[in-house]
Structure 1
């Protein structure tokens, strides 16, 4: 019986060691998810598939680190593109009926995002 326990522990340890590790969210993923929003945010087109991208991003940002990364990437992207309507950006969560734990704004302190 003791041998079976040792084998079971060894198998469990091997499974933990070789289990795939979740990858952190990247700015590329954030940008890709929200690319459909650009025409809307720049007052050049309809909302279109934007909400699908917002919801996808919300689903990808499961950890505090991921949410902080998403926040930082959003701030960086907003400053990279001229002509982004910051009011529309800030209202995206309510427009798309999602709840995110921070305000989409250049003044948001992403280090405080939980």
Structure 2
């Protein structure tokens, strides 16, 4: 039941983002944008298997868009919020996505990451 609510929430956020998306150069990054970029990763995080190329493309887009310190902090906090409801298996799968996609991140993400640094 909680999973269905989470999927519904993500779908609503994605729909809103697609309608109201503004250029990132002009506005600060939002959690809706982070969710939108990482939505293709959801099936891998939940079920494992192969990381979809759309997931890697979304992560790459997110990393490229997070140009300022504030954007990187926002993205980090958004990811922490998403991770708060994930199982250990889901967290483990999510943690290896950057390596599987060949996308270097400046830190290893975990729910205990201090986003202020």
What is the aligned partner in structure 1 of residue 5 from structure 2? none
Structure 1's unaligned 5+ residue stretches are 1-20
Q: 1:80 Cα shift?
A: 3.4
Structure 2's unaligned 5+ residue stretches are 1-24
What is the aligned partner in structure 2 of residue 8 from structure 1? none
User: Are 2:56 and 1:29 equivalent residues in the alignment?
Assistant: no
* Runs of 4+ off more than 4 Å: 81-84
Q: CA RMSD in A?
A: 1.8
| Residues 27-81 of structure 1, C-alpha deviations (whole Å, 9 max, x = no match) | 0000000000011011166422110110010111001110111010001011235
What is the aligned partner in structure 1 of residue 7 from structure 2? none
2:102 to 94, 97, 100: 97
- Structure 2 distance, partners of 1:74, 1:65, is 14
TM-score of the aligned structures, taking structure 2 as reference length: 0.70
- Structure 1 distance, partners of 2:88, 2:96, is 16
- Structure 2 distance, partners of 1:29, 1:84, is 24
- Structure 2 distance, partners of 1:82, 1:91, is 15
- Secondary structure of residue in 2 paired with 1:76: helix
